[in-house]
Amino acid sequence: MKGVIEHYKQYLPVTDKTPVISLNEGNTPLIRARYIESLVGGDVEVYLKYEGLNPTGSFKDRGMTLALSKAVEAGSKAVICASTGNTSASAAAYAARAKIKCIVLIPEGGIALGKLAQALIHGAEVLAVKGNFDDCLNLVKEITRKHPITLVNSLNPDRIEGQKTGAFEICDSLGGAPDYHAIPVGNAGNIVAYWKGYKEYKEIGKIDSLPKMIGFQAEGAAPIVKGHIVKNPRTIATAIKIGNPASWKKAEVARDESGGLIEAVTDAEILNAYKLLASKEGIFVEPASAASVAGVLKKAKEGYFRSEKRKATEGSPERSRRAKSEKIRIACILTGHGLKDPDRAIASIKKPKVVAAKLNAVLKEIGF
Ligand SMILES: *Cc1c(COP(=O)(O)O)cnc(C)c1O
């Protein structure tokens, strides 16, 4: 498969002259999740969009291929980003491929080891800032205002353009839009990108309905839910540990236009979904990614999908026909790979037992 620029060229701000910097990102699997369906109950189908299978292990690659291609097209010699980890891993890889400089500001001690390793091995100049993500983002905004370096955080509109291809893929694969789109919310670029993608697909007649966008922040880092900036965000889900999201207002627009919601899930709920995905569905994600599934399970317990279905049936004749004849479809975005943060996995489960190198000792342990 080609990368997302080649595949969705006609919907993206590129021309034949744009140099395409690609690692064949995108085309990630949309996996049916029968066990999670059994927990949600009722007439639902749950699909998991496994974005951890992108080249650098997160959805950031969809936006970064376009951001770097456009940067090179514009003659840029360097890119810079603030990052909770995955943006820096992705920017570093695509900048290496483009042969331009990449500068990364990360919160000191605040990103998973795998992501730091990626940024470093791809040759980025990494600075660990004594502050949090929001401090890092303020710094790079200031730097790019005054110096000729391209900002590749999701404030860069090319990032959003590239990331909207995730919505195209879901619709192409389902043959229509899902009814609900569940997604973790950190800096809030991705929920905005998906909503843009769905709306554009509807405008050109590729789909005839739009999903409700249901976003989930971590309880200790939930500024949109609380309605105010969180000075010291706290959560084990480092990728969404953000107290002042850059796309705050646009995320609220996506929520409200779609008739969806943005709510919080606790770290305990996130870890529960994280372990469940690994042990019952065979899918290893990083903790932040599990927020979408944690949110769906929480809303299912509240009866949200049942009562929403009743409402849908009372609506337009077209919707009601769909609602009666088909199951409710929920797409959950699994934003990043579990191997990014192996420490978290090891801390969440029992360590392996140590046994003697003797057949009897091993057999005894495994119950034979
Ligand atoms: C970046 C990231 C998020 C948050 O996405 P936003 O666009 O900042 O809301 C969630 N999960 C993972 C794994 C990420 O890398």
Residues 6+ apart with CB under 8 A from 325: none
Confidence (pLDDT) at 230? 97
Å from CA of 321 to ligand 1 middle: 35
Which amino acid is residue 103, in one-letter code? I
pTM: 0.94
The number of beta carbons lying within 10 Å of the beta carbon of residue 314 is: 9
Q: Which of 28, 240, 341 gets mutated to test ligand 1 (max ligand atoms within 8 A of its CB)?
A: 240
215 CB under 6 A from ligand 1? no
Ligand 1 centre distance from Cα of residue 243 (Å) = 13
What spacing in Å lies between the alpha carbon of 241 and ligand 1's midpoint?
9
Closest CA to 249 of 175, 209, 192: 192
The CA 141 to ligand 1 mean position distance, Å, reads: 19
Q: How far is the CA of 359 from the centre of ligand 1 (A)?
A: 46
Mutate to test the pocket of ligand 1, among 152, 153, 190 (most ligand atoms within 8 A of CB): 190
Edge-to-edge strand ranges of the sheet holding 150-151: 125-129, 101-107, 78-82, 150-151
> With a 6 A CB cut-off, is 88 part of the ligand 1 pocket?
no
pLDDT of residue 349: 85
**Does the CB atom of residue 235 touch ligand 1 within 6 A?**
no
Pair type for strands 328-334 and 180-184 = parallel
Residue 244 CB coordination number (10 Å): 18
Structure tokens at 3: 């990368």
User: How many A from CA of 350 to the centre of ligand 1?
Assistant: 28
- How close is the Cα of 145 to the center of ligand 1, in Å? 24
User: What are the tokens at 331?
Assistant: 């797409």
Q: Amino acid identity, residue 354?
A: V
Query: Which residue from 187, 270, 274, 285 has its CB within 8 A of the most atoms of ligand 1, so it is best to mutate?
Result: 187
Task: Please list the pLDDT of the chain residue by residue as tens digits (368 residues).
Answer: 799 999 999 999 999 999 999 999 999 999 999 999 999 998 999 999 999 999 999 999 999 999 999 999 999 999 999 999 999 999 999 999 999 999 999 999 888 889 999 999 999 999 999 999 999 999 999 999 999 999 999 999 999 999 999 999 999 999 999 999 999 999 999 999 999 999 999 999 999 999 999 999 999 999 999 999 999 999 999 999 999 999 999 999 999 999 999 999 999 999 999 999 999 999 999 999 999 999 999 999 999 998 665 565 555 555 554 555 579 999 999 999 999 999 899 988 888 899 999 999 999 999 99
Indicate which atom in ligand 1 lies nearest the CA of residue 193: 7
- Decide: 239 in ligand 1 pocket, CB within 6 A: yes
Asked whether 190 lines ligand 1 (CB < 6 A), one says: yes
Ligand 1, atom 14: closest residue by C-alpha? 239
Q: Closest by alpha carbon to 256, among 173, 353, 191? A: 191
Contact present, 335 and 184 (Cβ < 8 Å): yes
Question: Does the Cβ of 57 fall within 6 Å of ligand 1?
Answer: no
**How many angstroms is it from 67 CA to the middle of ligand 1?**
16
Give residue 174 CA to ligand 1 midpoint distance, Å: 23
Q: Is 267 in the pocket of ligand 1 (CB under 6 A)?
A: no
Give the Å distance between the CA of 336 and the centre of ligand 1: 8
* pLDDT in the model for residue 141: 96
| pLDDT score of 311 | 60
**pLDDT of res. 321:** 47
Q: Which amino acid is at 40?
A: V
- Atom number of ligand 1 nearest to Cα 237: 11
- What is the whole-number distance in angstroms between the Cα of residue 3 and the centre of ligand 1? 20
For residue 335, give Cα distances in angstroms to 77, 78, 203: 29, 26, 26
